Amino acid sequence: MTQTRPWLRFYGKLPPGLSYPAITLYQAVAATAARVPDALAWDFLDTTSTYRAFLASIDACANALATLGLAAGGRILISMPTSPQGVIAFYAANKLGAVPALIHPLSTAPEIEYYLNASHARIALTLDAFCERFASIQPKLPLETLILARIPDYLPPVKRFGFWLSKGRKIPKVSADARVRWWADLMAAPHPTVPRCGTGTHDPAAILFSGGTTGMPKGILLSNRNFIAEGMQAAAWGGMAEGHSVLAILPIFHGFGLGVCVNAAFMAGGKSILVPMFSAEIVAKLLRSKRPNLLVGVPTLYEALARAPSLSKADLSCLRATFSGADTLPRPVKERFEKLVAERGSRVKLLEGYGLTEAVTAIMAMPLTEYREGSIGIPFPDMLAKICRVGTEEALAPGEEGEICVSGPAVMLGYLDDPEATRATLRVHADGRTWLHTGDLGKMDADGFFYFTVRLKRMIKSSGFNVYPAQIEAVLYQHPLIAEACVVGVPDLAQMERVHAFVVLKDPAQANPDTETQLIEHCRARLIKWSCPREIEFRAELPKTRVGKIDYKVLVQEHTAQHDNQGYAG
């Protein structure tokens, strides 16, 4: 067994496999409510709910949604921040056998139109503040009901009044429309009780959308079993248990936020601290006041926390595990954050993980007791991973670079209404297993630790050589002047592509030609010549995706537009 899964010897007390109950997500929450009814399920801006009350809210919501026509196989679009309404509606839809599609609440009207058409949703849930975006496209779409929620729906009276004074008065009034219903009214009204639908663990449970690296975002169809497996695996890996709490700063439209910060906590009987919007200062405040045990975030968050003045005297002994995902974790960021928490009472290590929405989220991470420079870790229980020659199903030996492929119970059902893309991504290999071809380049060492190199679509081709942005960014982060860095390839007649670095300095006043020369020389001393940036562009800030990752695609587009306007031809 360890010959094909060499990583098992680093599991410690963790079993190589877990027993997954053949249940739905609604049944999973119901089981937790039966086991620990009085434990806290969630905390939202100081409003809390026990599991008993949480399950009652889910049942009430399911009854309300059923009266609106939502039934097994139906679709509901959830466009909400991380909030009680979004979470309750997600599990209520699951009870009915319906499939929620989750999107960013700040999606534009054209994006919403695309998501509604792609998901075939007839009911949507969003905040009152975003109603106008739906109203502008509603005449063009077969949207039967728009449910509007308010942030104050779950706030205590004092905070509700404070919200109205600070933000509520700025929200446009909603015009009367028979298709618009209010969350609070629906939840308060009596409705016929509906039983749980007979859908099973292998049936669809959610639609999440990819980042759209090529073309429009793909709908990713995930099953109940996918979420059950991911939840149990993540809880086991992070040591999540009854009474523990996780800070849910990653949004519920993201696999990491929904699968780990919310669902894994509920499966373990822990508490999810729901954070509707986040910044480093908000997270720092919550670390002090809520004292969570688990923190899951992206590298830019940990970099900001390491520099947050408000944490310099905070007691962080509450932290039991911290994980970074969704982007490459530079070693200096890891070291700065670990130094901070060590000085504030915790010996926790910041562990890097790897995953993708096509497998809910994380499918591997560094074990708590081991660290390998540059590694994204080892697979979770029951998840398999291997390196294949790009474009083939041929497994490569340890140390050889190829495409990362994964298999196991968290792997998606497929892409929504896209059988061609599904066939290209999910392939049955000679071993009879279905393998997910990730599109990521990497390698595995002899001990089974994996190393991410680059998204195949992001690799830079310079003078015939493969250049890896993450490698260059790691070198840039080693320089004491650098706060953030992003490396892209830009067109070049001689080299095909040349390396261009965007940099945010800790001290903006040092953005000058001398610093640019210093940073380029820093790279030349540590990188082979074709990997060195030819130029460094200083920015006050770098664009971020909606989950806080540096958005390299925007930087490429901005650079291209700038040089197109100047008549640049490479």
CATH number at residue 121: 3.40.50.980
- Would you state the structure tokens that stand for residue 66, as one six-digit string? 């059923």
Other CB atoms within 10 Å distance of the CB of residue 215: 8
Q: How confident is the model at residue 519 (pLDDT cuts 50, 70, 90)?
A: very high
Q: Which pLDDT score is estimated for 464?
A: 65
Residue whose entry in the numeric block shows the structure tokens 């639609």: 207
Residue whose entry in the numeric block shows the structure tokens 């309750």: 88
**Distance set, CA 300 to CA 136, 204, 325, 349, 452 (Å):** 35, 33, 10, 17, 18
Q: How confident is the model at residue 1 (pLDDT cuts 50, 70, 90)?
A: very low
494 pLDDT more than 70: no
Residue with the larger pLDDT of the pair 229 and 465: 229
145 pLDDT more than 90: yes
Q: Which pLDDT score is estimated for 466?
A: 73
Q: What is the mean pLDDT of the chain?
A: 90
562 pLDDT more than 80: no
Residues whose CB falls within 8 Å of the CB of residue 270, separated by 6 or more in sequence, listed in order: 235, 240, 241, 242, 243, 244, 245, 246, 293
Closest CA to 298 of 545, 45, 552: 545
Q: Which pLDDT score is estimated for 3?
A: 54
The arithmetic mean of pLDDT across residues 381-402, rounded, is 96
Q: Tell me which of 135-144, 200-209, 462-471, 521-530 is least confident.
A: 462-471
- Would you state the structure tokens that stand for residue 271, as one six-digit string? 């508490």
Q: Per DSSP, what are the bridge partners of residue 40?
A: 50
Q: Which pLDDT score is estimated for 469?
A: 87
E strands in 19-154: 40-44, 47-50, 75-79, 99-102, 123-127, 145-149
Last residue of a domain, one of 193, 226, 259: 226
- For the four alpha carbons of 62, 68, 73 and 79, in that order, the dihedral sign comes to negative
Q: How confident is the model at residue 492 (pLDDT cuts 50, 70, 90)?
A: confident
For the chain, give the percent of residues with pLDDT over 70. 92
Which pLDDT tens digit goes with each residue over 366-391? 998 888 888 999 999 999 999 999 98
Q: Which pLDDT score is estimated for 292?
A: 96
298, part of any domain:
no
**Distance set, CA 258 to CA 86, 264, 426, 523 (Å):** 10, 8, 23, 39
11, part of any domain:
no
**Number of domains the chain is built from:** 2
Whole-model pTM? 0.84
553, part of any domain:
yes
User: Which of 57-66, 139-148, 252-261, 561-570 tops mean pLDDT?
Assistant: 57-66
405, part of any domain:
no
d(CA 91, CA 99): 10
250, part of any domain:
no
Q: How confident is the model at residue 568 (pLDDT cuts 50, 70, 90)?
A: very low
Per-residue exposure over 62-83, b if at least 16 CB sit within 10 Å of its own CB, e if not: bbbbbebebeeebbbbbbbbbb
Last residue of a domain, one of 202, 226, 250: 226
116 pLDDT more than 90: yes
Q: How confident is the model at residue 567 (pLDDT cuts 50, 70, 90)?
A: very low
* 3-state class (DSSP) for residue 79: strand
Q: Which pLDDT score is estimated for 329?
A: 85
156, part of any domain:
yes
Which pLDDT tens digit goes with each residue over 417-467? 999 999 999 999 999 999 999 999 999 999 999 999 887 777 787 766 778
Q: Tell me which of 54-63, 392-401, 455-464, 501-510 is least confident.
A: 455-464
- Amino acid code (one letter) for 238: G
Could you list the residue range(s) of the whole structural domain that residue 115 is in?
25-226
CATH number at residue 557: 3.30.300.30
Last residue of a domain, one of 226, 249, 270: 226
Q: Which pLDDT score is estimated for 211?
A: 67
The arithmetic mean of pLDDT across residues 320-330, rounded, is 85
Q: Tell me which of 118-127, 309-318, 350-359 is least confident.
A: 309-318
d(CA 315, CA 294): 15
300, part of any domain:
no
Other CB atoms within 10 Å distance of the CB of residue 463: 13
E strands in 456-528: 460-462, 465-467, 482-492, 496-505
36, part of any domain:
yes
Q: Which pLDDT score is estimated for 570?
A: 38
